[in-house]
């Protein structure tokens, strides 16, 4: 759930908000208590994280399971 922050406080703390957003936090900016804008982590950064995770998974080996068994599992999952 995004943290609500008033417009004047957001203006004063923009650098801090951006750093926290880079770390994954989300904010809703309000004007007189009404939500008007959301600051959320960039999708571009999320895509990079997804690609990196996929790359790590593809390079990971399953220990103790023969390769032909792994291929069989893959084929079963594609049915």
Q: Which CATH number do you get for residue 31? A: 3.40.1620.10
Write out the chain's pLDDT in tens, 79 residues.
899 999 999 999 999 999 999 888 999 999 999 999 999 988 766 777 778 877 877 777 667 888 888 888 888 876 5
Asked if residue 35 and residue 47 are part of one domain, the reply reads: no
Say if residue 50 is in the same domain as residue 72: yes
C-alpha angle 19/20/26, rounded to 5°?
A: 130
Same domain, yes or no, for 51 and 73?
A: yes
Q: Do residue 48 and residue 34 come from a single domain?
A: no
Instruction: Print the domain residue range for 53.
Output: 43-77
Enter the tokens of residue 68.
């032909």
């Amino acid at each position: 759930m995004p943290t609500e922050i008033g417009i004047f406080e957001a203006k004063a703390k923009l650098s801090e908000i951006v750093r926290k957003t880079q770390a994954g936090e989300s904010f809703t900016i309000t004007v007189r208590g009404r939500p008007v804008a959301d600051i959320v982590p960039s999708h571009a950064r999320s895509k990079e994280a997804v690609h990196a995770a996929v790359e790590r998974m593809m390079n990971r080996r399953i220990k103790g399971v023969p390769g032909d068994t792994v291929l069989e599992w893959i084929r079963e999952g594609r049915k």
